[in-house]
Structure 1
């Protein structure tokens, strides 16, 4: 049996930084992953350029049963801290919209950086080895891996959630947590395209059309102004992916089309150009196919001057909160992350250690903390990993 100070399960973003942090503090660390190579989700993230953090990171950009839980870790390891590491390795980066930071080159540079950090800490990395039995006795956790057994007084669950199963993602973190008596908040897909029922076929025929909207979901105060994309199955694009994290089955998603229009804009168009067609007035600023579909649904036609102010006011109101009732999502296969996970009530917000299981830690996506689209989930991975790595 091999003995270590800590065993980290999962060589993704959180597991790599946690292992490196503990290793550089002089701890003997074993990092295990069943995938053939480390950092697989990092490699595909951000279109292969890794949206590694967001400069606007704040606790209110995260969903969790306890909205205060993430504050401690996020305040102690910030986007500036991680950016300092990126720059120390000479990795060129750029800021996109809404505070999103990306590598100029390849996401593989981030993986290489984290592996070098692990090497500096003397971390033993084993990939492509199935994890067998995990148990606890006499103050030590025992882990079977690849026909061997390792033990340590500290065990870190960093195996993520079930999103993107083709990358090897599973619900292993939840099984392990339950085995040690920790509660799990029911996981569901997040940052995921939504599907529309057959009666919305008019919109499903707009596949490939994109437009800026403000997306909202009933039962939530969240609102996101970004692009929406119509697909052959329903709705996608950044605005929809964002609101999907707040959406629950049965909720209505509303789209505010042409969000810059002032109140009364159609009635003003009637006064200014009464001979203009309603379709032309309504469709300004919208893709042609989408304008046609909306016009058909509104059932208004002819010159705008022939329509009553009441009818135009109703059209404005509908365009400002156009309702869709999705019948589902595209599931974990297309979800970027997971809402839910190991209950934060079970963990210390300062160290990420389980309150009732000394030496057991959970970090990253395995925990019930889910960020917005745009680098927030990576920042949670870094911050929670750092918190645990400093505490081991």
Structure 2
């Protein structure tokens, strides 16, 4: 038995639900399919269960892509204020945390319920708990089989995300479909993920649970937020941010005292000549971290005994302490995926594949990845809305 629709959307996540709701409210007959029985599973766990649903600082330069200009069109046409207006229309209380991050006061389920209500307004039909089988294309139609059912539509939207957090059901289906239709895929890798340290840096792994505000750098990217030491290596917002830019073999530089001006350790010597490096660091850093750094530097005795040039060398090392991660915690712990379906294959206006009319790709499935802090949800809303307007 085959049922006809105007559009089939694969993936009931943030982007898929937004796309289906937008198209449905434009009068399209839309089917939304997901192999999970529960829609929006990543939404539910995001932001500690409160969903960091957007960031008011959203701008194209806060997204990573082989084509840094691709995201500009969709982000300009569906803004954080647009989604915030929707949140407020549903009476969902929210608050702003640091750096423009907006969260629900209550539960992330409120955002899922909002999206389901928007789908209902558009008459979207749901096929949840239905693993996607064969996907075929011919005679101007796409055919999707789930179990004994076959669905047909002239438009197919791939919104199945990337492989990050597989325990929630994430797979590489988007890339399999893209390759089956001849679309290029930019190599996917884990992003917004903790980094691991090898045995030569085991001292720092022993600081598990210690955090401090730092500036973290890799390549040309740098972020001023907290870093957290774990039993496996480095985490915390600053590390998650740079992990999206980090490549295996590269170092990570940490400025442990980013507020300190050049020459600060000399000034500390003159102010407290009998202080040690450890006691001086402990005034600004957690005790265990101050001890570990002082032990590694091994500056003997009191500051008064040190030449100013030596103190400058120590200050410079503390401002750019080099770690050598041996990897990351992988897709299992990654919040999102860098890479995906190449933007060169898609229209930045409609998200339709240039070489396969009627095929669309949105959200995390596409090679556009945002910073930590609500940017990836804004990309989901913007790309889903843009595609929904074009179906």
Structure 2 length as normaliser, TM-score?
Answer: 0.99
Alignment map for 1:286-365 (pairs within 5 Å): 286-365=285-364
SS of the aligned residue for 1:206 comes to: coil
Alignment map for 1:72-83 (pairs within 5 Å): 72-83=73-84
- Give the total of aligned pairs: 390
Cα displacement (A) at 1:20: 0.2
Cα displacement (A) at 1:301: 2.5
Structure 2 unmatched ranges of 5 or more: none
Cα displacement (A) at 1:282: 3.0
Alignment map for 1:14-33 (pairs within 5 Å): 14-33=15-34
Deviations 1:285-318 (A, max 9, x none): 1000000000011010311000111211110000
Counterparts of 2:318 and 2:282 in 1: how far apart (Å)? 11
Counterparts of 2:40 and 2:144 in 1: how far apart (Å)? 21
Q: Tell me the residue number matched to 1:13.
A: 14
Q: Is the Cα–Cα contact under 8 Å of residues 279 and 301 in structure 1 kept in the other structure?
A: no
Deviations 1:83-127 (A, max 9, x none): 000000000000000000000000001000100100000000010
Counterparts of 2:281 and 2:113 in 1: how far apart (Å)? 51
Counterparts of 2:345 and 2:192 in 1: how far apart (Å)? 25
Cα displacement (A) at 1:146: 2.8
SS of the aligned residue for 1:132 comes to: coil
Counterparts of 1:301 and 1:33 in 2: how far apart (Å)? 62
SS of the aligned residue for 1:323 comes to: strand
Of 263-272 and 55-64, more deviation after overlay is shown by 263-272
Structure 1 length as normaliser, TM-score?
Answer: 0.99
SS of the aligned residue for 2:234 comes to: strand
Counterparts of 2:31 and 2:147 in 1: how far apart (Å)? 13
Cα displacement (A) at 1:283: 2.9
Alignment map for 1:167-178 (pairs within 5 Å): 167-178=168-179
Runs of 4+ off more than 3 Å: none
Counterparts of 1:158 and 1:133 in 2: how far apart (Å)? 16
Q: Tell me the residue number matched to 1:145.
A: 146
Deviations 1:299-356 (A, max 9, x none): 1031100011121111000000000010000000000000000000000001000000
Q: Is the Cα–Cα contact under 8 Å of residues 266 and 282 in structure 1 kept in the other structure?
A: no
Counterparts of 2:145 and 2:275 in 1: how far apart (Å)? 74
SS of the aligned residue for 2:133 comes to: strand
Cα displacement (A) at 1:34: 0.2
Counterparts of 1:79 and 1:18 in 2: how far apart (Å)? 16
Q: Tell me the residue number matched to 1:256.
A: 255
Structure 1 unmatched ranges of 5 or more: none
Counterparts of 1:28 and 1:246 in 2: how far apart (Å)? 40
Residues 1:158 and 2:159 are matched in the alignment: yes
Q: Tell me the residue number matched to 1:112.
A: 113
SS of the aligned residue for 1:67 comes to: coil
Q: Tell me the residue number matched to 1:4.
A: 5
Counterparts of 1:240 and 1:200 in 2: how far apart (Å)? 16
Q: Tell me the residue number matched to 1:65.
A: 66
Counterparts of 1:85 and 1:201 in 2: how far apart (Å)? 48
